[in-house]
Chain A
């Protein structure tokens, strides 16, 4: 066969392959072309009889025709296969609107989440986290904190006692962690201490157990300006607002001098508290410069070192930020409440991802 005939065969078969075929017809075509006596196979057999100078060209043309046909056949086979799979899948359709397999989603308690938020904020400005025991002795909870036995301030702490001598008690605040930290280390100190605290008091706004975070920064030249700056930074970061109205008011705590209470501005919008605006004031924390007597009690020289301390109610901060009304609900383990106010465990507060979603 000469080349033009071969080309004719090629065109003829390419046309044949263009129409809708089943897999058998394609295989039939394949045999007709490339089988033992296939038209293309036979053409290759004639190669030997050609003169050397033509042979090369002929072989090359024949090869490219063979490739072209082969390609077309492969394509056709694949096309049919795909079609067949598709029509088969058509029958395997399921109702994907049926519910997925069960998954369970856990929650982090708002107190834990708020503690993590607080830790993240203070971590940014170099504070580390310290802890202390829930059971304290009278000395660490009161005496070392410049609240001697006959001090009326003791009456304000409705203390749970564990013995009749009133020597062992449940700590009424996180301040004893200050005492422990300073006794066990050397200045400077820059710590926060979140934890459980206890007072025998129970009503809408008080519960016998609640959470506080203590802050302490002692160094050679830490003054009230640093205290103000630190708290201003904290409140702004915590409530995730750009501006905060904040008021320092003189107050009294035995373990700080001068002492202050801090109010933040708020207003009510649609029955909800909006922090940072408005002309109402809300008391949120107590603070002051650590009393020289406290420093002496923990073997820190008050002539060289000074600094501030503060104490914040964690539960209350959480209530304000997340609009929780009843403090007691924090500790009642109501599944609905935990589900609603709880946080996804993957929402870890951090400064690079943001404090909260």
Chain B
């Protein structure tokens, strides 16, 4: 919403300085986006006259103009406009000027070998209009005595640009803004002064509102003005239209626009001679078409609110008029419309047809239904003043009276909500100034809501009116209440934070990537999950929600590799999506690691990252989080995006159905498909939702401190087993022999080759044996040794290696 301070002062009697008014606007909730001149540095634009124009020797389309800019000598300007001819009055911009349209700074330059000192400007370059065909053509009557004068001299008033929230349609007109300022003590709201206009003739065009289902128009006011002479608008009106950032068209169009921005009362003017007999406000039928003033043809659906005549649709009520009945410069008789359209109807139609206009914007938010006649009076008066013509009596058809809403307001609610007190008389004054009709009944106010405030429907809205006008600075700052209802984090949230920092502490950089991803990459990782498409993605390569944490991680890992990094560790903790209903998502940690360990290190041998790096990070993280590593169980069946031979799934317990984590090398095919260039690429995933809360509380764990001081002894064994026999199974066999005596089992060597059959391997273990009851004697140890060997041999088919 744009206007100048002088326009505001047509409605507001005030002595406040501009700066105070601007601050007040912000204070009452009308946010000032900017307060600037329409363009800056406009003083370098001069009225100028082309005194001579010659053909450019090196370019057919260019001319070299000698331009009189009111100084002793003319200047040479190279110009490509077809209308750059001798004696043309135009606008000259000297070197150093900044062209308003594109903010380009001019300098003296050679154009095809000829030096040009500045530029002759088109209306479009000056932001005056869309006209960019030729340079500005100034009328000699107005400008011949102004050569060398500043072109923008009269136009330097600053423009206020407000950002109006959707609840305040009343402030989409200057008067509404003035009313708020007046209520807030920044002046007095002036009365609207309208002359009594003679209305002798009758409105000859019949208007009817058809009572269709969900009729979107409830009031249609009109008047006929006969014998007008449409013309260019007078300067004052042009300036107003320009200050809105719009282009003056003709007096009639400019007046209807002016009334809309002044009073927030959209109007429409029809060329009365083009209306076929009568105006019928009705619902459209599917397939009807009409050409709108934006020069587009619209095909209508059923039940859109249209203004029509006997021949068909004239316009979409409250949204846009049609070209068939549009006013032109030679229009003689006009029908002026001032109507009320329901916001839901406007919104529905404009959305379906994708039209946005100033009128639509206003009706959608809610226009004052009581402003029908005011609009007609103001517009008719201006038209008759500027264009002449006879004004008919006003015709107002309505199917709804739009009675004012009433609210009973309990005064104590104000203090209950805001925490501070305002005296009753002051409350009454604020509300009265805002246009409420107030009558006081003891502790309650009976309020009639101003018809221009569709946003006020219940007592809480009245509280807001009072507090914003009174000023939010009056609200006390109370110390925060420290009482607690619940723990800050629940167990799952604590786990989230713990795991996040645990993984980071192992050298991974945390990253945050989109929840959506490229379906092409997602397909590599999605397994059998459903693809979840976004109907309106931001770009075609972010078209699905991610089914896996890896799609974006691998994408960004590749980007970093391409930046020249080699050894990268990235992780993300966040959602992946299983399906598209709320809650059908899982929280996952995904980590990925590329390249080598100890690359270029003087005292360690480098090696490519491998599956056991990932296993260590997964297991350590889970153990740190409090899970019992002794009971973890690893299976090698895992998602297909891992290397089938170098992957594992981690189960918290052998009997668990679902794994809590995967680790492994990324499948070489995927590395190839994504064109990732690295020596090695490994990753792991931890599924937080599958991590059950089976942790013993630390205080229980700590209080249960048991240890043995009896001597322990260590024994080494080597078993020859089948090549595909799993170390995990061997350890399980041994540890279950005697859980009280066997304290730890370490695998210190795996051997295949000489002295071992081809399909076998040797696993060497170190076993610690200790009793918590006594010092074991040699015979006890011998017994357990024998038991270990015999049990392993029976249960696994292994042979002790001698």
B550 CB to closest chain A CB, in angstroms? 13
The answer to whether A30 has its CB under 8 Å from any CB of chain B is no
B168 CB to closest chain A CB, in angstroms? 7
How far apart sit A261 and B29, CA to CA, in the bound complex (Å)? 9
How far apart sit A207 and B482, CA to CA, in the bound complex (Å)? 35
- CB-based contact B510/A109 at 8 Å: yes
The answer to whether B416 has its CB under 8 Å from any CB of chain A is yes
The interface stretch among A20-28, A82-90, A249-257 is A249-257
- CB-based contact A128/B510 at 8 Å: no
- CB-based contact B569/A104 at 8 Å: yes
Q: How many residues of B contact A (CB 8 A)?
A: 99
The answer to whether A200 has its CB under 8 Å from any CB of chain B is yes
The interface stretch among A9-17, A70-78, A341-349 is A341-349
Among the listed A125, A127, A306, A345, which residue makes an inter-chain contact with B417, where contact means beta carbons less than 8 Å apart? A306
The answer to whether A153 has its CB under 8 Å from any CB of chain B is yes
The interface stretch among A31-39, A45-53, A267-275, A331-339 is A331-339
The answer to whether A205 has its CB under 8 Å from any CB of chain B is no
- CB-based contact A292/B458 at 8 Å: yes
Among the listed B509, B512, B583, B598, which residue makes an inter-chain contact with A102, where contact means beta carbons less than 8 Å apart? B598
B698 CB to closest chain A CB, in angstroms? 17
In the complex, what residue of chain A is closest to B416 when comparing beta carbons?
Answer: A223
| Known contacts A119-B488, A232-B477; is-contact A259 B511 (Cβ 8 Å) | no
B169 CB to closest chain A CB, in angstroms? 9
Among the listed B460, B464, B493, B510, which residue makes an inter-chain contact with A131, where contact means beta carbons less than 8 Å apart? B493
Which B residues between 268 and 315 are near A, CB-CB below 8 angstroms? none
- CB-based contact B365/A152 at 8 Å: yes
Instruction: Compute the total of residue contacts between A and B using a CB distance below 8 Å.
Output: 264
How far apart sit A338 and B418, CA to CA, in the bound complex (Å)? 44
Taken residue by residue from 191 to 222, chain A's Cβ proximity to chain B (1 for < 8 Å, 0 otherwise) reads as: 00000101011100000110000000100011
Taken residue by residue from 465 to 480, chain B's Cβ proximity to chain A (1 for < 8 Å, 0 otherwise) reads as: 0011000110111111
Residues of B within 8 A of A225 (CB): 418-420, 475-478
| Known contacts A102-B598, A162-B532; is-contact A150 B343 (Cβ 8 Å) | yes
| Known contacts A106-B505, A151-B166, A345-B504; is-contact A251 B29 (Cβ 8 Å) | yes
10 new A-B contacts, CB < 8 A, other than A108-B501, A248-B472, are: A128-B488, A129-B490, A134-B577, A150-B347, A161-B535, A198-B515, A208-B516, A217-B481, A230-B480, A342-B509
| Known contacts A232-B477, A333-B513; is-contact A252 B168 (Cβ 8 Å) | yes
Interface SS of chain A: mixed
How far apart sit A30 and B559, CA to CA, in the bound complex (Å)? 77
| Known contacts A119-B488, A150-B343, A225-B476; is-contact A339 B509 (Cβ 8 Å) | yes
Among the listed B168, B343, B419, B601, which residue makes an inter-chain contact with A223, where contact means beta carbons less than 8 Å apart? B419
A: interface residue count bin: 35 or more
- CB-based contact A135/B582 at 8 Å: yes
Residues of A within 8 A of B557 (CB): 333
A264 CB to closest chain B CB, in angstroms? 14
- CB-based contact B480/A338 at 8 Å: no
- CB-based contact B507/A140 at 8 Å: no
The answer to whether B167 has its CB under 8 Å from any CB of chain A is yes
Residues of B within 8 A of A346 (CB): 501, 505
- CB-based contact B575/A338 at 8 Å: no
Taken residue by residue from 506 to 530, chain B's Cβ proximity to chain A (1 for < 8 Å, 0 otherwise) reads as: 1111111111100000000000000
Which B residues between 450 and 505 are near A, CB-CB below 8 angstroms? 458, 460-461, 463-464, 467-468, 472-473, 475-490, 493, 497, 500-505
The answer to whether A93 has its CB under 8 Å from any CB of chain B is no
The answer to whether A258 has its CB under 8 Å from any CB of chain B is yes
Residues of A within 8 A of B597 (CB): 102
- CB-based contact A292/B460 at 8 Å: yes
How far apart sit A162 and B537, CA to CA, in the bound complex (Å)? 9
Residues of A within 8 A of B569 (CB): 104, 106
- CB-based contact A128/B486 at 8 Å: yes
How far apart sit A348 and B501, CA to CA, in the bound complex (Å)? 9
A338 CB to closest chain B CB, in angstroms? 4
The answer to whether B534 has its CB under 8 Å from any CB of chain A is yes
How far apart sit A152 and B166, CA to CA, in the bound complex (Å)? 6
11 A–B contact pairs at CB < 8 A?
A: A102-B598, A106-B503, A125-B482, A156-B166, A162-B534, A170-B545, A196-B515, A200-B538, A229-B479, A249-B31, A333-B557
The answer to whether B556 has its CB under 8 Å from any CB of chain A is yes
Among the listed B31, B512, B570, which residue makes an inter-chain contact with A331, where contact means beta carbons less than 8 Å apart? B512
How far apart sit A331 and B512, CA to CA, in the bound complex (Å)? 6
Residues of A within 8 A of B481 (CB): 125-126, 217, 222, 226
Residues of B within 8 A of A156 (CB): 166
Residues of A within 8 A of B476 (CB): 225, 228
A199 CB to closest chain B CB, in angstroms? 9
B32 CB to closest chain A CB, in angstroms? 10
Residues of B within 8 A of A116 (CB): 497
| Known contacts A162-B533, A339-B509; is-contact A333 B570 (Cβ 8 Å) | yes
